[in-house]
Structure formats: structure tokens, C-alpha cells
Amino acid sequence: MSGASGGLRTGRGGAWPKREGGADGAGRLAELLHSSRSAVVLTGAGISVPSGIPDFRSPGTGMWENIDPMEVASIDAFRRHPDRFWRFYGDRFASLHDRRPNPAHGAIAELERRGLVRGVITQNVDRLHRVAGTRRLIEIHGSIEWSVCLRCGGRVGLERVLELLASGQGAPECAACAEPLKPDVVLFGELLPQAAMQEAHALAREADLMLCVGSSLEVFPVASLPGVTREGGGRLAIVTQGSTPYDREAEVRLSGDVVGELEAVLAALG
């Protein structure tokens, strides 16, 4: 990470005071969005919690608190025991299928519609940004929308995968070659898709403002993207509960719930 520590931050416009939350913080974030030329949004699991989707590691509610992800959500687990793998993922996909975007997703789509945001990079696989209307979306960890055959490359949509799972046949299979389908998401033990990461890196490098929403900014390589923006002279704004490694570098740091904070930003924009 780059940037000075302490009470002042240095960016393209010189030095500015760090701002915290509250109405002043929402207003300041609205000012930054209005004056930016190439703002980018980076989102994590926290933006989907108001939609009823738990995050991964929060005490008491995190998905991986009582489950070893290497046993049920790794590429090795998929290859060794596809039926057991899909018993876990089938329940998760069925649950995600019924979830709907919350007002935080809608606020980000509205910022893009107004021309205040160039694109959205998300760590989430739940497709809620797309359902909410976001157009330029980089789903860096993939999406539940599709499952793929690792042998022939065939793709099967979520609705059909859920139908196959409901039939009780075990792991859904490719109709062409009878191989188990793999969710088109990045599993533990897999690398991120190179093309998606390159596009995300380019957006971060060109951004004069990165707005990080609902992410702890601790999972690499995605967690490096705010640093890419800072190294290019861009500014950071963070909207999330809990601390992040970039808090000292953020001009605006809002720590309330993401829905309330982003609705306040939209209200400040008018």
C-alpha cells in the first residue's frame, strides 16, 4: 500500500483531511463521486448480507466458522467426491437463487446509471449486482449463474442445474459427456480467472476514486486493488462494518450498515 499515514492524505488534488462517518461523511463521499472522472466500486460479502446471505467469517454467522471449506468447497473436494461437493453447493445455490438485490445493490446500479461510476468489481458470486441492473460488472470469483464441464467446456444455466439436483441423481452431469458439472466459481485451490483479474487491475489503475463496499479487503489478490488505485494517485472511500488494512488511507470511512450509508449518499447527491 502507498500513501502517507496520519491526518493528511495526498492524492491528485493535493492533501485532504481524512473524514469519518455520519452525514458529513456521506456528503463528502457524494462530493467525491460527483467530482471524479473514473470512479470504480469494489464490493465484498458485506453488501449482500442485507439480502439474507451470510458472509464467510463473521463470529456466530460466518459460513466457514463451523465448516472446513477445503472439505466441501475446494477443487480437490469436487474432483474426489462430486456428489458430496454438490450436496453442499446444491443447498447453497438453491438458497442464493431465491435471494434478491437489496437497496445497496440498487444504489450502486443507480450511481452507474447516472454516469458517476465506470464499473463494479465484485468478490461475490451471487449475481445480485447483475440482477439489480449493474451493466459493467467484473465477477472476479465467478457466478452461480453457470456451471461448466471441465472436459468439453459446455455451460449449463442455474435453472437447469437446480432441476438436475432436484431429480436426486447426485452431482449434475454434462449432457454431452456425462462428466460432473463444476460451478463456474473460483473454488479453494483454484487461481482467479486471468482475464477478469486483468480487467479489474486495469479499472483500478485508471480509477481516480475507488469506493470499497462491504469488504474486509484482506483476501488477495483482490485486496491489492485499492493499493493499485492509490499508487496511481486515486482516492479511496470505504463503506463497511469492521476494520480494513486501508482505513488510514481512506478519505471517507463509513462504518454503518451499507444500505443506510449508500442511501444517504444518494440523498446527498440529490
Q: Tell me: the pLDDT tens digits for 33-63?
A: 999 999 999 999 999 999 999 875 555 544 5
Q: Per-residue pLDDT for 142 more than 90?
A: yes
Q: What is the mean pLDDT of residues 142-147?
A: 95
Q: Which three cell numbers stand for residue 108?
A: 450502486
The chain-wide mean pLDDT, for the chain, equals 87
Query: 230 with 217: CB under 8 angstroms?
Result: no
What's the one-letter identity of residue 119? G
What's the one-letter identity of residue 202? A
Say if residue 174 carries a ligand binding annotation.
yes
Of 7-21, 199-213, 247-261, give the lowest mean pLDDT range. Answer: 7-21
pLDDT above 70: percentage of residues in the chain: 85
User: From the CA atom positions of the chain, what is the Rg in Å?
Assistant: 19
125 in the Ramachandran plot: left (φ > 0), alpha (ψ -120 to 50) or beta?
A: alpha
* Higher per-residue confidence, 5 vs 192: 192
- For position 180, what pLDDT does the model report? 96
How far is the C-alpha of 117 from the C-alpha of 136, rounded, in Å? Answer: 10
How far is the C-alpha of 152 from the C-alpha of 149, rounded, in Å? Answer: 6
Query: 26 with 213: CB under 8 angstroms?
Result: no
Q: Per-residue pLDDT for 144 more than 60?
A: yes
- For position 199, what pLDDT does the model report? 97
Count, residues in the chain:
270
Say if residue 152 carries a ligand binding annotation.
yes
Beta bridge partners of 209: 39, 235
- 3-state DSSP assignment of residue 230: helix
Beta bridge partners of 137: 120
Q: Tell me: the pLDDT tens digits for 220-258?
A: 899 999 999 999 999 999 999 989 999 999 999 999 999
- For position 66, what pLDDT does the model report? 60
Per-residue pLDDT band at 2 (split at 50, 70, 90): very low
Q: Tell me: the pLDDT tens digits for 166-208?
A: 998 889 999 999 999 999 999 989 999 999 999 999 999 999 9
Q: What is the mean pLDDT of residues 13-26?
A: 54
- For position 67, what pLDDT does the model report? 63
- For position 73, what pLDDT does the model report? 79
- Assign domain 1-53+102-141+192-270 to a CATH class: alpha beta
Query: Of the residues 105, 129, 141, 201, which is catalytic?
Result: 141
Q: Per-residue pLDDT for 68 more than 80?
A: no
Q: Which three cell numbers stand for residue 76?
A: 480437490
- For position 171, what pLDDT does the model report? 93
**CATH superfamily of the 57-98+143-185 domain:** SIR2/SIRT2 'Small Domain' (3.30.1600.10)
- Please state the pTM of the whole predicted model: 0.86
Beta bridge partners of 149: 181
Q: Per-residue pLDDT for 94 more than 90?
A: no
Domain boundaries, the chain: 1-53+102-141+192-270, 57-98+143-185
Active site residue 141: yes
